[in-house]
Amino acid sequence: MINAFRIQLLKAKTGDSFIVECGDNTFFIDGGTRSVAKYLKRYLQENDPTKLQAVFVTHVDRDHIGGIAKLYSQFGKYVPKTAPVYMNHPEQVKVNTNTSGLVTFEDGNNLKDVLAANGYKLEEATTGKVLRFGETRIDILSPQNVVAGQLFKEWEESDDDGLVSSDIIEVDCSTLPSEPQNSILNDIVNASSISFTVTYKGRSALFLSDTLPEIVTNQLSEKTNFDVVKISHHGSKHNTSMELLHKIDCNNFIISTNGPRSYGHPHAESLARLILSSIEHGYSECNITFNYEKVRDRIKINNLPKGFRVNLIYSESIIL
């Protein structure tokens, strides 16, 4: 297992939180809600903490930053100071468009202050940046710095929880859903998400955070193969398009959500697009992995082409 490429899927409630192990190198990607901090702390207690190479806070929605903010504020003694934190904050990203002054990013600002006070490194992560950690390469696809700058004019709080739905999600594979209509200015918090690829020993994973599909589509110059793709925004129909999936050659997907009724994630339209794109790319099956068993069990697939199989999987980790 020493050379394994493993992705651990934490129970992050409405959000995302992943521990990525590339041989001896470990990375934290988001921290879900604040309650997830205890899992990150436990990991550091049970493993060699010096293997933690970097922490990524993809954006400042509270179901992504909450657990990281609590980890550093309450359990910081377990986190090595050698691991930089990548989070786009006004003091990291210099842009001319940020002329309206800062709004109060409570968790983002608090985390920045805790990091600065305790000697941790805070780094920006925008389009084109390439990070190397031994045999592991991380390529930042988004956001462009001008998009990140727009984020600092708006701050939208997101609820941590909400009632979890038990409704069946009916996925119709006989009809291609219409494409999402997005506007960066109308969804700047998600548009400014850090999305990136992680490559290790010939295997690659694409982490789409909550970014909008057109942003990543524009960064992929041609169809690219990935071993697994973490789908954007918990399977929202607004954040996965067929235009993007045309460029992503993959049939192995991760969706992170506990399925709150208030959001309706994952949406049937996104699931249909994942299945239909897998067919388009010539695969005989589509694998969709969930970090909550109850979400997996709610999904019903209808009108699949004969001979094609969809595997709905609940798992706490994926090994590539």
Would you list the domain boundaries of the chain?
Answer: 5-319
pLDDT of residue 107: 66
Query: What is the spatial distance between Cα 5 and Cα 21, in angstroms, rounded to a whole number?
Result: 6
Residue 249 confidence (pLDDT)? 98
Q: Over pLDDT 90: what percentage of the chain?
A: 70
Q: Check residue 11 and give its pLDDT.
A: 96
Once rounded to an integer, what is the mean pLDDT over residues 70-95? 81
Residue 258, classified by CB atoms within 10 Å of its CB into exposed (0-12), middle (13-18) or buried (19+), is buried
Q: Using omega within 30 degrees of 0 as the cis cutoff, is the peptide bond preceding 143 cis?
A: yes
Whether pLDDT at 158 is above 60: no
Residue 62 pLDDT: 80
Q: Percent of the chain having pLDDT more than 70?
A: 85
Residue 104 pLDDT exceeds 50 = no
Q: Which pLDDT score is estimated for 296?
A: 97
Average pLDDT, the chain: 87
- Check whether 99 has a pLDDT greater than 50: no
How many residues belong to the chain? 320
Is a pLDDT exceeding 60 seen at residue 231? yes
Within 8 A by CB and 6+ apart from 297, the residues are: none
* Range in 11-20, 112-121, 181-190, 278-287 with the lowest mean pLDDT: 181-190
The reported pLDDT for the residue numbered 65 is 87
CATH architecture of 5-319: 4-Layer Sandwich (3.60)
**Segment 24-53, tens digit of pLDDT:** 999 999 999 899 999 999 999 999 999 999
Rounded average pLDDT over 13-18: 94
Residue 222 Cα to chain centre, angstroms: 22
Indicate the pLDDT class of residue 6, thresholds 50, 70 and 90: very high
The residue ranking higher by pLDDT, 320 or 191, is 320
What are the distances in angstroms from CA 311 to CA 164, 174, 281, 284?
23, 18, 17, 11
Task: Kindly tell me the burial class for residue 66, based on how many C-beta atoms sit within 10 Å of its own C-beta (0-12, 13-18, 19 or more).
Answer: buried
pLDDT of residue 21: 98
